[in-house]
Each structure stands twice: as C-alpha cells, then as structure tokens.
C-alpha cells in the first residue's frame, strides 16, 4: 500500500491517478473527512483523514503502508512539523 499525503490537492490527485492507473494500491491521506469520497473518485483504494500536525494520527494513517509520497503544504506555517511527523511515522512503520 502506498500512502499519499495531501491527496485531495492538485498534485495529490495527479499522483493518485498515476499510481492507480499503474495498478498500485493507494491510501489517500486528507485533512478533512469530507474529502475522502473525492480521493476515492480519483483512484484511492483507501482514504484516511489525518492531521499531519498530530504524530499519532500520522502513525495510524501509515500503518500497513510500504511506501509514502509526501506532498508538503507550501507556505504553511507548520510545514516543517508536518514533514518531520511524516518522516518519523514512516521510520516507525518501517516504510
């Protein structure tokens, strides 16, 4: 399973489409539950709402994944924290 962060954004939707077109299983990580159906429509087999500023939520969202594509939120005041949380969770998950 490949996790994709910011999966409902412009870049995320393109990544989802490319991965699903290649027949790869994708778990889309989105910020709000309202976006889960949207990412499924773009090819995600699974969709999880997770706040990347909360390490526990990131850890749970990556459980069972073997790869991750992290798309950071440009110009977000907590972008570095989010990226570090994804890296830390990926290491703990063995990604």
The string of pLDDT tens digits covering residues 24-81 is: 999 999 999 999 999 999 999 999 999 999 999 999 999 999 999 999 988 899 999 9
Residue 2, pLDDT > 90, answer yes
- Alpha-helical segments (H) within 1-95: 10-21, 36-41, 55-62, 79-93
Q: What separation in angstroms does the CA of 68 have from each of 16, 62, 77, 79?
A: 12, 8, 22, 17
* The predicted structure's pLDDT at residue 74: 84
Q: Residue 72's beta-bridge partner residues?
A: none
Q: Residue 48's beta-bridge partner residues?
A: 29
Name all domains of the chain by residue range, CATH numbers in brackets.
Answer: 2-93 (3.40.50.720)
Model confidence, pTM? 0.93
Is residue 33 classed as helix, strand or coil in its secondary structure? Answer: helix
Of the pLDDT bands very low, low, confident and very high (cuts 50, 70, 90), residue 91 is very high
């Amino acid at each position: 399973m490949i996790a994709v962060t910011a999966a409902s954004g412009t870049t995320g939707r393109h990544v989802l489409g490319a991965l699903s077109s290649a027949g790869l299983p994708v778990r889309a990580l989105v910020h709000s539950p309202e976006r889960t159906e949207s990412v499924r429509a773009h090819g995600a087999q699974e969709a999880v709402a997770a706040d990347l500023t909360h390490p526990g939520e990131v850890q749970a969202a990556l459980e069972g994944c073997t790869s991750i594509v992290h798309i950071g939120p440009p110009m977000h005041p907590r972008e570095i924290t989010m990226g570090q949380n994804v890296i830390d969770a990926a290491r703990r998950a063995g990604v």
